[in-house]
Amino acid sequence: MVSESKKLIILLKKGDEAAFTELINTYNRRLFAYAVSLSGDYSLAKDIVQSVFVKTFEYRKRLDPEFSIQGFLYRSVYNQFINTYHKNQSLLKLH
């Protein structure tokens, strides 16, 4: 029997827009709350989550149904936060 997470990834890999919408509806609030807890900035958190969903859609064909989509999304938010933080620190040093 195939889990719901695996079905969702399989549909995403095929480019199913309804599956992508379901992914957003399922994880958007949780990822936003996580991003706010990392950054302390609502606007930045919104940008991070949006970026993660865009990148997830762009790279959907590389997703592996054997791995947790939830874990992938949370790790992506964390990585995006770290990248944004380092970018902002570099810009501050330039000013």
SS3 59: coil
pLDDT band at residue 86, thresholds of 50, 70 and 90? confident
Q: What is the pLDDT of residues 26-41, one digit of tens each?
A: 999 999 999 999 999 9
Pair 67, 42: CB distance under 8 Å = no
Q: What is the pLDDT of residues 39-80, one digit of tens each?
A: 999 999 999 999 999 999 999 999 998 998 999 999 999 999
Tell me: pLDDT of 1 over 60: no
Q: What is the pLDDT of residues 11-26, one digit of tens each?
A: 999 989 999 999 999 9
Q: How many other C-beta atoms are found inside a 10 Å radius of the C-beta of residue 14?
A: 10
Indicate the length of the chain as a whole number.
95
